[in-house]
Chains A and B, each alone.
Chain A
C-alpha cells in the first residue's frame, strides 16, 4: 500500500514523464505564447510610464510659470493627453503606421477596432508618444496663449504634423515603408520624430505669439520671470526621467534583453546632460540654476532617445554631455533672438533632439563616424525641420488671424487661470493678486 508521500512522488514522476514526451512541441508553442504575453505586459507597462511623463511635463511647466498661470499650463498638459489620444486614434495612428506604399503617409488603420491584441498594445504605446509630442509646445507658449486656440493647434499637431513625419521615419507597421526609414535613418524612440518635431512646433508658436509683456527691456535684454515653484520643477524632472525608461525601453516593443542597455544609456545620458549643463554654466561664470540643470538632464534624455539602442554607454555619456552644452547655448541663442520660450522647450526638444539624432549616426556601434549614416541622419533632421516648422508657422498664423492666438494684455495682467478658466491655482496663498477676486 502506497503511503500518501509515495503517492505524491508517483504523481510527480508521471507528470515529468508526460512533459518530457510532449516537451518539444508544447515548449515551442508555450514559449511563443509566453513571449507575446511578456511583450504585451512590457509594452503596456511602458505605455503607462510614458503616460506618467505627462504628469512630469505638467509639474515642470506648472512650476516654471508664475502662480497666476499655473492652472492654465497644467490644463494644457492634461487636455493634450485627452484630445491628443482621441485624435491620434481617429487619424494619427493610421497616417503614421498604416500601410505606407508611397513612403509619405499611412493609408489604413484609422479608428482602430476589430484588430489583433498586439495592435491595441502598439496603439496605446504610440498614443502616449503623440501626447508627449503635442504637449511640448504648451510650456514654450505659456502665459500668453488663448486656451481654445492652443487646443486647436494641438489637434493639428496630433492629426497631421506629428504622424506624417512619423510615417516617414517609422511607418509602416503593416505594409510598405517610410522614405526615411528606407534610407536607413536611425531614430529609435524619437529624438526627432517626437521631440524635435514638438520643438519646431513650439518655435513656430512662440514666433507667432511674440514675447510676454515686459520679457525684454527696451535694449532687448531678457528680464528674468522666475517660475513660482521650483520644487515642482525638480519633481517634474524626476518624473520625466522615470517615464523615459518606458519611452526608450518600451520602444523595443518586446520584452528583450537589450532593454538593459537601452535604459542604462538613457540614465547615463540624463545624468551627463545635467552635468554638461552645469559645466557650461560654470565655465560661462553663470549661476548654476536648478531649472537649467533639470532642463540639462531632459536635454540628455531627448538626445539619447534616437541612439539609445545602438551605441555603447561611453557614447551615451558623450551624447548627454554635449546635449547639456547645446541646451545652455540654445537658451542664450533664443534670448539673443528675443524669442520668449518660457520653459526652454525649444532648446531641450528641438536642438537637443537634432543633436541626438546626429549622435545616433556618429556613435553607431560597429559603424562609428560613418559619413553616409551621418548624412542620412542630417537629412532626417532637416526634413523634420522643413516639414514641422513652416507648417506649424502657417497653422499658428492662421489661428492668430482668425480666432486669435494671443491672449489680451489684460488677460496677461490678470493671469490666464482667472481669464481662461475662472479658477485660481492657489486661492489662499496668492502673493500678488492682479485680478478682481
Chain B
C-alpha cells in the first residue's frame, strides 16, 4: 500500500515535469489561446500516453488551433525539451491553464468543461460512474470484504489526480456513499487516472489477474449504456 502511495506521488510529479517540458517545447511556436488549447489537449489526452504518442499529439492540436505550425520544428522542440534537466524547464503552467479554462469555459473546444451542479451529467461522467460502479458491484459479489477497502484506497489516492475542489469533494462523497451519482465533468486524463488508481488498488488487494478480468468486464458492461455512443468506455483505460 505504501509503495502504491509513493508511486501515486511519483506519478503526479512525473506528469508535472512532462507538462513543464511540453510547455517549454511549445512556447517558442505557440502563444495565447493556441498554446493553452494545445496544453489542455496534452493534459486531457496525452499526459498518460506512451512516448510515441507525441506525433499524434502534434497532429491533433495542429488541426485544433488556428495558427499554421511547422510540425517537424515543434516535434524537435518537444523532444529536446523532454530530455532537458528539470532546472532548464519553464515553470509548471498548470495554474495558468486552469485560469485560462475558467475564462474560456462557455466556448471551450475541450470536453472537460465543468457542468453546473443541477445540469444532466455529461456522457463521459455517466460512463465513468458506470465503470467504477460495475467494478465495485462485481467485487461485492465475488470478494465482499474488498469493496470498502478499494473505495477507501481510491479516496486516499484522489490527491494524486489533478482535480479542482468541486470534483474532488464530489468524488470523495460518492466513494463514501454520501452521494448517489457523479455530476461534475472530468477530463479524460482525470477519469483515466481514477480508473487506473482503482486498478492499482485492485492489484494490491486482489491480484492482477482477477482485477484485469473485473475491469475488462466493467468496461464491457458500460458499453451497453446509451452514453457509450458519445463516450466509449474504453477511453478510460
Q: Is B221 an interface residue (CB 8 A)?
A: no
Tell me, in angstroms, the Cα distance from A225 to B209 when the chains sit together. 6
Tell me, in angstroms, the Cα distance from A436 to B196 when the chains sit together. 12
Q: Is B200 an interface residue (CB 8 A)?
A: yes
Contact residues, B171-219 vs A (CB, 8 A): 192, 196, 199-200, 202-204, 206-209, 211-213, 215-216, 219
Q: Is B230 an interface residue (CB 8 A)?
A: no
* CB pair A214 B208 closer than 8 Å: yes
Chain A: CB-nearest residue to B196 = A410
The interface on chain A, measured as residues whose beta carbon lies within 8 A of the other chain's beta carbons, has a size of 30
On whether A225 and B207 interact (CB within 8 A), knowing A413-B196, A436-B235, the answer reads: yes
Interface stretch of the complex, out of A154-162, A174-182, A427-435: A427-435
Chain A: CB-nearest residue to B207 = A223
Tell me, in angstroms, the Cα distance from A419 to B50 when the chains sit together. 6
* CB pair B1 A218 closer than 8 Å: yes
Partner of A213 from the list B52, B208, B215, B232 (CB cut-off 8 Å) is B208
* CB pair A433 B207 closer than 8 Å: no
* CB pair B212 A434 closer than 8 Å: yes
Contact with B along A206-220 (1 / 0, CB 8 A): 000000111101100
Q: Is B237 an interface residue (CB 8 A)?
A: yes
In the assembled complex, the CB of A347 is this many whole angstroms from the nearest CB of chain B, namely: 22
On whether A437 and B234 interact (CB within 8 A), knowing A225-B207, A226-B209, A431-B216, the answer reads: yes
* CB pair B11 A432 closer than 8 Å: no
Partner of B237 from the list A66, A218, A413, A422 (CB cut-off 8 Å) is A413
Partner of B206 from the list A68, A214, A422 (CB cut-off 8 Å) is A214
On whether A434 and B50 interact (CB within 8 A), knowing A223-B207, A408-B11, A409-B7, the answer reads: no
Tell me, in angstroms, the Cα distance from A433 to B199 when the chains sit together. 13
Q: Is A400 an interface residue (CB 8 A)?
A: no
Residues in chain B near residue A408, CB distance under 8 A? 11, 14
Tell me, in angstroms, the Cα distance from A214 to B150 when the chains sit together. 14
Q: Is B129 an interface residue (CB 8 A)?
A: no
Q: Is B92 an interface residue (CB 8 A)?
A: no
Tell me, in angstroms, the Cα distance from A227 to B199 when the chains sit together. 20
Contact residues, A261-305 vs B (CB, 8 A): none
Q: Is A411 an interface residue (CB 8 A)?
A: yes
* CB pair A217 B207 closer than 8 Å: yes
Residues in chain A near residue B192, CB distance under 8 A? 410
Tell me, in angstroms, the Cα distance from A158 to B7 when the chains sit together. 32
Across chains A and B, which 5 residue pairs bring their CB atoms closest together, nearest first? Answer: A214-B203, A432-B216, A213-B203, A223-B207, A432-B212
